[in-house]
């Protein structure tokens, strides 16, 4: 099941860390801290795998399946992490709080999906009403790309403002928009959107790796300064 790996991994890793701590095999963590750690490391990073796939020219279906599974696992991990942190300030008892964690997870995930679907439905209606696909002249494709990006970002903003998961909302908004909005785009607008999002995705990946690399160096320097 999509996203099931992250869900299962959170509780398996969290349980192993908690059990190892109780046996004295590692630093003992509470059950809540162990589950938080499990949710934190359950997200998968497919960047290197996808880069190899792209270099080898594998089929688009395989590329899409790996990418979609990894993104959904990330989304599940983030939602679980947030749900567990809601109980961080309280004394955590598994028999009492675990059902609330699962209910919070299910609520956030479900409502986030509905927000993404509603945003995609609204964008499909707007594009159909504007009938831009019937007008290839001028800078119509630029307006299409700008409007397409605005609706995509709107799904993220609405979910985050409502204390939901922006990544889940954006993921499902993208799925529905690819199915119901792109048929209403002009050919030039569709090509521009595809190229624009590829550039933004590459830029985002580059910035993430750059910030992670800089954080390691800065953190190492701060540790040296603190020890001296």
**pLDDT 10s digits, 21-71:** 888 888 888 777 888 888 777 766 666 666 666 667 767 777 667 766 676
At 111-162, the pLDDT tens digits run: 888 998 999 999 888 888 877 666 666 677 778 888 888 888 898 899 888 8
CA distances from 43 to 14, 169, 173, 212 (A): 14, 17, 21, 16
Quote the tokens at residue 29.
């963590």
Are 153 and 182 in contact by the 8 Å Cβ rule? The answer is no
CA distance 177 to 122: 10
Q: What is the pLDDT of residue 118?
A: 92
- CA dist., res. 159 & res. 151, Å (int): 13
Q: What is the dihedral of CA 84, 89, 94, 95, to 10 degrees?
A: -110
Burial class of residue 77 in the structure, from the number of CB atoms within 10 Å of its CB (0-12 exposed, 13-18 middle, 19+ buried): buried
Residue 204: both structure tokens together? 């985002």
Q: How far apart are CA 36 and CA 72, in angstroms?
A: 18
pLDDT in tens, 2-17: 556 667 777 888 888 8
Helix, strand, or coil here: 203?
Answer: helix
- Reference 31, options 91, 82, 103; nearest CA is 91
Spell out the residues 6+ positions from residue 157 whose beta carbon is closer than 8 angstroms to its own. Answer: 166
Q: What are phi and psi of 59, to 5 degrees?
A: -65, 150
φ, ψ dihedrals at 146, nearest 5°: -65, -45
């Amino acid at each position: 099941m999509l996203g099931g790996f992250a869900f299962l991994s959170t509780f398996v890793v969290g349980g192993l860390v908690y059990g190892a701590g109780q046996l004295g095999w590692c630093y003992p963590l509470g059950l809540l801290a162990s589950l938080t750690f499990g949710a934190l490391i359950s997200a998968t990073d497919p960047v290197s795998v996808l880069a190899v796939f792209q270099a080898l020219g594998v089929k688009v279906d395989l590329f899409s399946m790996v990418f979609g599974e990894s993104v959904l696992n990330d989304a599940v991990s983030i939602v679980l992490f947030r749900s567990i942190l809601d109980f961080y300030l309280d004394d955590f008892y598994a028999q009492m709080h675990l059902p609330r964690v699962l209910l919070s997870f299910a609520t956030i995930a479900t409502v986030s999906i509905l927000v993404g679907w509603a945003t995609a439905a609204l964008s499909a209606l707007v594009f159909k009403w504007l009938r831009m696909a019937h007008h290839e002249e001028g800078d119509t494709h630029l307006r299409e790309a700008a409007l397409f990006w605005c609706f995509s970002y709107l799904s993220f903003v609405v979910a985050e403002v409502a204390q939901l998961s922006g990544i889940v909302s954006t993921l499902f908004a993208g799925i529905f928009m690819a199915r119901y909005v792109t048929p209403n785009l002009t050919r030039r607008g569709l090509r521009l959107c595809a190229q624009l999002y590829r550039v933004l995705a590459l830029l985002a990946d580059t910035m993430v790796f750059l910030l992670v690399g800089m954080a390691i160096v800065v953190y190492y320097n701060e540790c040296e300064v603190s020890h001296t």
